[in-house]
Amino acid sequence: MRSKSERTGFSFFLALYTISMSLVAPQVARAELTVSYIRVTPEVAFDTNRVYAGAIKAARRAELGFKRGGEVAAVNVDLGDTVEAGQLLAKLDTRALESDHRRSRSEQVFAEANRRAARADTELAANTERRVRALRAKGNVSQQSFDEAYLQFQASKAQLAVASASVGKAKAAVEAMEVALAEAAIRAPFAGVIQGRHVDEGSQIGPNVPALSLVETTKREAHIGVPEGAVPSLEIGRFYTIKWQNTEAEGRLRSILPEVNPNTRTTTAVFILQDNNIPLGAVVELSLRERVPGKGFWVPIGALTAMDRGLWGLFTIDAENTVQRRLVEVVHNEGERAFVRGLLYSNDRVVAAGVQRIVAGQRVIPVRAEIDVYAN
C-alpha cells in the first residue's frame, strides 16, 4: 500500500500529464485545411523603441539691461511684441548726455579748424625756410635772416603738433559721449519676442539690471532627457525625429549636456529643430531604437491565441503535417509581430494565420507564408 506522500506525488504528475495531453492530443477529426506557416529562427535579443519626453525651448534667450544707470525715458515694446535685430527697445533720459555730446562735437570742429590753420602756417614757414636757405647759400641774405626763417618753421611745426593733439582729444571726447549714449539705450541683439518687461517710463534703474527679456523665435531647440545608458547610441550631428501631437519635425543633435540628474540618472540631449512651428514649451517625444537582450523568437501576431495565466498558444506543424499546440510567453510586441519565448526550436514551422480554424492533432496542408517577421 502507497504512503500518503507517494499518493500526492502520483496525483501531481497525473494532473500534469492530463494537462499536457489536453494540449497535444488529437481533437475531433477535421478535414485537412491549407494553412500558411513561417519557419522561426532563435534570437538572443530584440530591438524596441523607447520613448523619452522633453520640451521645446528658445535657442537663445537674453536678459537685457542698460550698461549705465539713470531714469527710463521710453520703453517701446510690451509683452509678446515681435522685434527685429537691432531694433530700439528702450532708452534712458539722455538730455544731459546729448548736450555734452553737442559741446564735444563743437570742440572737435573748432580743433580741426585750428589744425588746418596750423598746417597752412607750417607749410608756409617750410617754404620760406627753404627759400632763405637757398639764398643764404649764395650769400644773398644774412645769417640772421636765415635763423629767423628757421625758427619760424620750427615754431609752426610745434603749433601744428599742439593743434593735432587737440583734435585727438576732442575726437576722443565725442566718441566717449557716443558710447555713453549707446549705453543709455537697449537694442535687440537678435530677432525674437519680448517675454518679460520689468521697467516703466520714469523709473530709476541701475547698470546691468534686467529691464527686458527676449527669446529667439527663428530657431528652437528640443531639450530631451535620456538615460545614461542611451547616450552611447546618440550621434552628434545626426538628425532624429521629434514628435509633438500629430506633428513630426527633424532635429539635429547639437550636444549632450554633461550634467546627470542624480535622481533620474538622465542627462539632456539638445536638438536643433528644422521646423519652428512647434510652440515654445510644448512637450515633445524622442523615440530611440534600443537592443534588449533575451532569447526568443519573432512570430506574427496572427499566430497567437490567448490562454490562461497570461500565456499564449500557437500551433507548430510536425513532419507529418499535424499541428501541435505550444505555450509561449509574449515578451514584446510591435506592429504585426511579437517576440516570444517558450517551447519552440530553431526551424520550427509555426502557423502564421487562421489559427481559429484548426485544433491540436489536425492534419493540414502547409504553405509557406509570404511575410517576414524579421524585417523591422
Domain boundaries, the chain: 24-49+292-368, 50-61+218-291, 63-92+185-217, 95-183
Between 21 and 171, name the one with better pLDDT. Answer: 171
63-92+185-217: which CATH architecture?
Beta Barrel (2.40)
Q: How many CA atoms within 13 Å lie on the side-chain side of 315?
A: 28
For the CA atoms of 116, 118, 121, 126, what is the dihedral angle to 10 degrees?
-100
Nearest to 300 by CA among 217, 230, 189, 374: 374
User: What percent of the chain has a predicted confidence (pLDDT) above 70?
Assistant: 91
- Model confidence over 167-215: pLDDT tens digits? 899 899 888 888 888 899 999 999 999 999 999 999 999 999 999 999 9
Is residue 305 a contact partner of residue 340, using CB atoms and an 8 Å limit? no
Is the per-residue pLDDT at 17 higher than 60? no
Helix (H) or strand (E) holding 318: none
Determine the CATH number of domain 24-49+292-368: 2.40.420.20
- Model confidence over 209-258: pLDDT tens digits? 999 999 998 889 999 999 988 898 899 999 999 999 988 899 999 999 99
95-183: which CATH architecture?
Orthogonal Bundle (1.10)
Instruction: Give me the amino acid identity at 375.
Output: A
pLDDT for position 375: 66
| pLDDT class of 376 with cuts at 50, 70, 90 | low
CA angle, corner 34, sides to 29 and 39, nearest 5? 110
**Domain 50-61+218-291: what homologous superfamily?**
Efflux pump adaptor protein, beta barrel domain (2.40.30.170)
* DSSP annotation string for 108-159: HHHHHHHHHHHHHHHHHHHHHHHHHHHHHHHT-S-HHHHHHHHHHHHHHHHH
Q: Which residues pair with 337 in a beta bridge?
A: 300, 334
